[in-house]
Structure 1
């Protein structure tokens, strides 16, 4: 977030950084490139429950992406009170659209000048323009019974009538420029500030009552618009039962947590429910918890195999994690004591703590500390250390809230550790099922790449392989087993092994696919797979190919011309036991490039697959001559950039590039492109099923 107007920047702080994959309205607008309209809080709760939980105010919102030149440069979030009409009018949409196009154009031009708009440490808060003319409100409000205060959008007093001064018992010198609930101790109740937030966002009147130290009860009503808030104060006589209820509600003496703090902590709790990895948990805590709790230092320590492990650190000197990382649990430190005892400790002044534990100096020049145990399922897995640069009293309610927050952190951290462990196991399994090193043939250069889905934990089913048959022939295969699961990975390994075995005995491509298809039927699995198999003959300068419902291969010939191969379609493997497949012969003279890939490289929700394949062929054609790793990186980068959605489909990517270097021994092969089609594998005609996939143009 770079600019905010109409609401305080401190309230907008939880959204100052938003992950593009986050399930929130702004991220969805950027991912899809389409506006997002939410007409009510009920609709917000249905579509974006995380946002509704952290933002419990009746508003309507419209998020418009800033798109220019095919690139999304940002987004604008507009808020209205929930009382507005449930739809946007034509004039409103036109005005917003025109403004967004101008902003997107400005952002693009700024980037082209080498001066792109960068995030700020704190969003720039702009005041709405003041209306012309002198405000005669002073004389008007002083004639009214009771008192009137004016507040800006940040809750600070901008105007104070004589009646309000009398009722509040404070003058302009004490209140102007301040938030009333921060300078008047008897108003220091989170519910009072929350009434201000409710009026600010809903633009509906909000009320609360409080007892003055003189014993008099006062009623406060807040009326908000886009310029500020009017606070009406009146003396009231509460019934006895209402007085008892209000007294019971009044916060105890001390330093209660502000409503804004509760707002941010609620946002933090909802963000932790979305954090899946240990790094995401650490980032959420350091970026959101530290400013809310006014902490200058943060560290997350865990106990693993008898030693301390520093999961994350922010605000402490670099030598702090270096010292504590790997420290034996037998070492006498306050962090170890917290983990072993499972009890929190609060140190308003660090003097005594330094005498007891000299290694606290490693945390730098901090004046106060809080050590919070991270306890989950009855065991303490670590501790959270908060450091403050000033003395801090740690009132009883603050201690209770910090201890409760530590429990939420512990649950999120334990879940994230389990996720990371499973993710490592999935990556190891995936790596074990793919070839560790591809064979080398004289006259053939090979480059392969596998990229797992970024949003999924389970192992994928994409696979590739290159099989050396003799000095001048090789087989290449690429495929995709349905789904992301251990079952999909296991089936992928079996399919790859079957293809390898049938290729080694010299079977033609159509026979290899037919026999592999029969294997899937014998395994009695409900999963299916797509596949392309290529037999490359370097002596004759040709390749024989067959496909089973897979995206079409692409060939770039020595002159630079690129062709998307229109192979005879075949059913997906595992659909029909007697499915027939066809072998197609193409020329592959020296200097030719054959590109095989899975649909994760080209397929996007709502996008035309044929157009995406054509874009990939165009990218290959325009790529300058160079080593295959450079071409691989270019294809991955360009195709991801054209998707504009950060791989929102969550699919794996496999890419296999094969380039012939010379004709090899023997006579040259055919010079045409798709030269001949062999007879199909024997068997009855396949039954047409709804799940049948055909290559584009088939």
Structure 2
């Protein structure tokens, strides 16, 4: 529900722009952003991670938002930007419990958090620490790093994570005392990791007197060469540190620089550094005139005596040569080397930005390097925005292992794509499938190319390619499924296609028996003998549940040998029996059937086992939902009025529609109360939340309003009394309400509003307007809140419409726009009977298959006057 009083914009304003993006965010948000980024970077460095981040509280109760993401591209991990604290994920558990979680490998993660493994089915370790200060919980600090199979996280790293969370919590507490609102409103800020292992680029220069042969070195070059080199010194001393071929290149550069055109010359040479390694230097030479007496300068001869130098070729030039150097370290220059490779090579950093493109990639993409450098990968290669390709990049970045796959960015061309990840980014090799690259070895038997893929190619069937990203789709879809039927339908739509299955059966445990809850693909009646089977039966569906171990049979023959008395479907192939166990509690069994015999790789077995845990948790949640939903529906049916009072001079009609997302009952209600003295109280309200708690609170509030109204209290006193009662009943719960006292004879109205949408009034001539009632605070917040009264007139033939926000509020749409649409819909019913008008107003809402909120509508009309 939404309260409709005076509200202030959130910290990031209404643009949806994440904070910390620039000066517009102000020093407060800047300080918060810097604090989060620094804490995440420090934690990643201290425990040897390659990525990390911080989840922070949001303005929505029970919802955490990722506020900082280090070392990973944001668009690739958008599904994990939001985390509800009641979800079975480590971030949620750490925030709920205040205890750290350390998952050293995928097996440990699968055992404790199968939904995490199902949504990110890659080998990585993850460490989580609560961000707290005293008893206040701000969020969770997260670090991802390489797994250590079978080796738990050591004590030092555990302590480092704990200290990092505590230090960040204390810093955030200080910011809160300075007035910073510690709620993250939007997407995270993405932070680049510090570069690992790259030496700093150093600069130096020397001045070469061509006539004397002496060179003067600046401090930068002396640092590169080492302190033992004097300055000035003869050019021979400097060239003695070069390889002979590089010394010749330097002399040749000097000759060119002193030539007729005098153009600067650039050479790449290797210099022996004090570390004994060869440093690669870019040398730029530029000649200039010396002073008139420069030709008299001397240098040391071979025997130590002064000897004149007569310049290049023994001729005095009167020139000096200025040479600047860039020390590129002991590594190789990548651009020249990769330009010579017969492969298209592209590199991105850890945030997904293009950092390098070689010449062949330019030709392949048809775009110059300058147009690609610094751009996100999804702009350079738009097809990387497709789910399967995103999943491959996630796999490379999280696992650290090379990934190869086929892509088809254009209908006419397939690409073999190889991803080679490292701490500082990912290098990609792109090979067109119709481009064999260098001439392959010849097969003497066929006189053709040798068969088999090269190192940079991989051929996968289309169904296998698509299967690799299906677990993520299944995890996301299951998080939205509510009922057992919805869960089963999601498994059918996502799990079967992912693994090429054709049959699915789900059994649920009840009273120590397994009952068939869902089936598809099996012959009619084939599964009936197994419906209601006891837990002592010797059948695979029971054994997998009682032992907790999945069973995989590559053929019906293999299954028959293990269970000789089991009826078999002769037209089927392999079978997988998966235990559905949620948090150690047995839920049921899942059977996957295949048309043909097939093997199950270790990766497939791991993923299927993890997905079974995910399915079990979804089914357990669905069973709780079914129970709670039945109770809530019963409560609501009992509490909503079954008929409205009939009074001369006024007609009333009410309508209610339950929400269809999540819990299908909520806290909306309406009522019409005969208060005495011939007056009627028209009431509509909305309790925060859904489910049994909201329905129960709604019943209590409806009873309270009814009691106050029947006692003859004024509208403002009815609202004040209900507000105090709600605070006493359930501190922290709140509700909105609109209460209108109507005199049917005179049409006089006295109305109060507590954070509720304003009513609409349709005049006898069909003109419809929004009534701006004086508003008070929502119920349940302030015990001293007051509720001013607005006096109105309901003319004969006029219609008053009270409604809850579910009728006018839609995702992505301003509520004022929704109210305007409702006003037009009500105006279009001017000639209709009241009951038909109510049905017409909610007709569009009734046809929506996915309503996030329930809807209540109450119409009241005075009959028109007749001559």
TM-score scaled to structure 1, two decimals? Answer: 0.55
- Distance in 1 (CA, whole Å) between partners of 2:520 and 2:481 is 18
Match of 1:584 among 791, 804, 817: 791
| Equivalence for 1:449 | 655
Q: Which residue of 1 aligns with 2:79?
A: 48
Shift of 1:301: 1.4
Of 682, 686, 690, which aligns to 1:476? 682
Partner in structure 2 of residue 187 of structure 1 = none
2:516 to 310, 317, 320: 310
In the alignment, which residue of structure 2 is the partner of 1:597? 803
Distance 1:344 1:446, change over 3 A: same
Superposed displacement of residue 552, structure 1: 1.8
The 5 A counterparts of 1:363-374 are 365-374=571-580
Map 1:276-315 → 2, pairs under 5 A: 277-315=483-521
Structure 2 contact 413–434 (Cα < 8 Å) conserved: no
Name 2:858's counterpart in structure 1. Answer: 656
C-alpha contact 1:549 1:572 (8 A) present in aligned 2: yes
Alignment of 1:172-571 (within 5 A): 180=452, 220-221=455-456, 261-265=467-471, 267-269=473-475, 272=478, 275=481, 277-320=483-526, 325-326=531-532, 333-350=539-556, 356-357=564-565, 359-361=567-569, 365-394=571-600, 402-403=608-609, 405-441=611-647, 445-452=651-658, 454-455=660-661, 457=663, 460-469=666-675, 473-482=679-688, 490-520=696-726, 525-571=731-777
Cα 1:359–1:87, aligned 2, differ >3 Å: closer, same or farther?
same
Equivalent in the alignment of 1:617: 823
Indicate yes or no: 2:434 matched with 1:164: no
Q: Conserved in 1, the CA contact under 8 Å of 2:582 and 2:613?
A: yes
Secondary structure of the corresponding residue to residue 566 of structure 1:
coil
Q: Quick check: 1:39–1:86 contact (8 Å CA) kept in 2?
A: no
The verdict on how the C-alpha distance between 1:420 and 1:491 changes in structure 2, with shifts beyond 3 A counting, is closer
Task: Indicate the structure (1 or 2) with the bigger Cα radius of gyration.
Answer: 2
Unmatched 5+ residue regions in structure 2? 1-68, 83-118, 124-347, 354-367, 383-406, 415-428
Change (3 A) 1:294 1:637: same
> Does the 8 A contact of 1:429 with 1:459 survive in 2?
no
3-state SS, counterpart of residue 288 of structure 1:
helix
Secondary structure (helix, strand or coil) at the match of 1:48 reads helix
CA gap 1:283/1:84 in 2 versus in 1, 3 angstroms: farther
Structure 1 Cα separation of the partners of residues 714 and 641 of structure 2: 22
C-alpha distance in 2, partners of 1:150/1:482?
Answer: 53
For residues 59-83 of structure 1, the C-alpha deviation after alignment (integer angstroms, 9 at most, x for no partner) is 969xxxxxxxxxxxxxxxxxx99x9
Instruction: Please say if residues 763 and 799 of structure 2, whose CA atoms lie closer than 8 Å, have aligned partners that are also in contact.
Output: yes
| Residue 260 (structure 1) shift | 6.0
Residue 479 of structure 1 and its aligned partner are, at CA, apart by 1.8
- 2:54 paired residue number: none
Cα distance in 2 for residues equivalent to 1:307 and 1:86: 60
Within 1, Cα distance between the matches of 2:430 and 2:707? Answer: 82
Compared CA separation, residues 434 and 343, structure 1 to 2 (3 A): same
CA change 1:295–1:542 in 2 (3 A) is same
How far off is 1:345 after superposition? 3.7
Indicate conservation of the 8 Å contact 1:616/1:635, yes or no: yes
Q: Which residue of 2 aligns with 1:4?
A: none
- Segment of structure 1 superposing worse, 283-292 or 421-430: 421-430
Give me the TM-score of the superposition, normalised by structure 2: 0.46
> CA offsets, 1:399-431, max 9 Å, x none?
566445434433443344345544544544444
Contact 2:683–2:738 at 8 Å: present in 1 too?
Answer: yes
8 A Cα contact 1:441 1:468, kept in partner: no
Of stretches 49-58 and 625-634 in structure 1, the one that deviates more from structure 2 is 49-58
Name the CA distance, whole Å, in 2 between partners of 1:275 and 1:463. Answer: 26
**How far off its partner does 1:500 sit?**
0.5
In the TM superposition, 1:664-683 aligns within 5 A as none
